């Protein structure tokens, strides 16, 4: 059974700092990995999707890397801002049979950026 | 933002009553999903659909049923609600099965008393 772990569970940094969020998974047979952001009381917003054949993806100040063989992904946030405060979730997609794919989520890292 | 709405957004119900949650999309995406989110567990898949009338079970499907009679609507039913089903329920959609991103709705907070 696939297990996804995100460490740390919570992180507090001063504004302007660069930071890295970690995600690890136990089964390297993944199809892709997706990073999400969730604001309190809200749904999930997709940030980046990395296919299993890719090493990284970038969007603005965000950069996500994937090392499938070691079961790890990182989300790098450059020059953090108070508006980046949210919970960040990673999810891995695996093939579940009959043409279907399922996401397995980590429990998230709650980020607080202090002005 | 993906055109996904969920109704109701909040509901309080009593143990033993039936409850139906609705997910509506305007994106014409083939795949739709229901998740629940609980502290300490993260998001877990309940059921998903890969087309009209085509559904399958996820990780935590016991006590839930689903139906999809139209591309745009995916219903989640709790036949007899229990307190353990108190949770936040999210609907998600994707255009493709595997390579595509999933987009999430705003969620429904359900409390079973």
C-alpha to C-alpha distances, B101 to A4, A32, A49, B105, nearest whole angstrom: 18, 9, 7, 13
Size of interface A-B (CB pairs under 8 A): 58
Separation CA A104–CA A89 (nearest Å): 10
Out of B41, B44, B99, closest to residue A51 by CB = B99
Nearest to residue A65, comparing CAs of A11, A20, A108?
Answer: A20
| Span of A4-13, A66-75, A99-108, B31-40 with lowest mean pLDDT | A99-108
Judged by CB atoms closer than 8 Å, whether chains meet at B42 and A44 is answered as no
Does A89 sit within 8 Å of B42, measured CB to CB?
yes
| Nearest neighbour of A46 by CB, restricted to B50, B99, B101 | B101
User: What does the pLDDT read at residue B1?
Assistant: 56
The pLDDT of residue B47 is 95
Q: What is the pLDDT of residues A33-55, one digit of tens each?
A: 999 999 998 899 999 999 999 99
Average pLDDT over residues A16-29: 96
The pair of three-digit structure tokens given for residue A106, joined into one six-digit string: 């980590």
| pLDDT exceeds cutoff 60 at A73 | yes
Q: Give the model's pLDDT for residue A41.
A: 87
What b-and-e string marks burial along A77-98, b requiring 16 or more CB atoms within 10 Å of the CB? beebeeebbbbbbbbbbbebee
How far A52 CA sits from the closest chain B CA (Å)? 10
pLDDT, residue B99, reads 65
Average pLDDT over chain A, rounded to whole? 94
CA–chain centroid gap for B5, Å, is 11
User: What pLDDT, on the 0 to 100 scale, is given for residue B91?
Assistant: 97
> What's the confidence (pLDDT) of residue A77?
98
| Angstrom distance (rounded) from CA B88 to CA B104 | 13
Ordered per-residue pLDDT tens for chain B, 113 residues: 569 999 999 999 999 999 999 999 998 999 999 999 998 888 999 999 988 999 999 989 999 999 999 999 999 999 999 999 999 999 999 887 766 788 999 999 999 99
pLDDT of B2: 66
Q: Which of A31, A43, A107 sits opposite B98 (nearest CB)?
A: A31
Chain B residues whose C-beta is within 8 A of a chain A C-beta are 33, 40-45, 48, 50, 56, 58-59, 90, 92, 97-107
3-state secondary structure of A81: coil
The answer to whether the beta carbons of residues A56 and A63 sit under 8 Å apart is yes
Q: Which of B1, B26, B8 is nearest to A39 (CA)?
A: B1
Query: What does the block give as tokens for B52?
Result: 């009209």
Minimal C-alpha gap between A106 and chain B (Å):
6
Q: Do B42 and A105 touch (CB under 8 A)?
A: yes
| Secondary structure class of B84 (helix, strand, coil) | helix
**Are A46 and B102 in contact (CB < 8 Å)?**
yes
Q: Which is nearest to A101 in space by CA: A113, A93, A111?
A: A93
State the pLDDT at residue B100: 79
């Amino acid at each position: 059974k696939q297990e996804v772990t995100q460490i740390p569970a919570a992180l507090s940094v001063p504004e302007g700092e660069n930071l890295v969020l970690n995600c690890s998974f136990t089964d390297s047979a993944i199809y892709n990995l997706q990073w999400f952001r969730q604001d309190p009381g809200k749904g999930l917003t997709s940030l980046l999707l990395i296919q299993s054949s890719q090493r990284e993806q970038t969007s603005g100040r965000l950069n996500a890397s994937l090392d499938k063989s070691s079961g790890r992904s990182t989300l790098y946030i450059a020059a953090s801002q108070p508006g980046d405060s949210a919970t960040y979730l990673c999810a891995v997609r695996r093939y579940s049979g009959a043409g279907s794919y399922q996401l397995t989520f980590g429990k998230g890292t709650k980020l607080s950026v202090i002005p | 933002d993906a055109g996904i709405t969920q109704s109701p957004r909040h509901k309080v119900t009593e143990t033993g009553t039936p409850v139906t949650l609705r997910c509506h999309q305007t994106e014409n995406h083939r795949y739709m999903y229901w998740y629940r989110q609980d502290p300490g567990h993260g998001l877990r898949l309940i059921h998903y659909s890969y087309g009209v009338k085509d559904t399958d079970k996820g990780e935590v499907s016991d006590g839930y049923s689903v139906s999809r009679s139209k591309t745009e609507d995916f219903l989640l039913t709790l036949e007899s609600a229990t307190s353990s089903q108190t949770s936040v329920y999210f609907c998600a959609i994707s255009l493709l099965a595997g390579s595509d991103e999933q987009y999430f709705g705003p969620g429904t907070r359900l409390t079973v008393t």
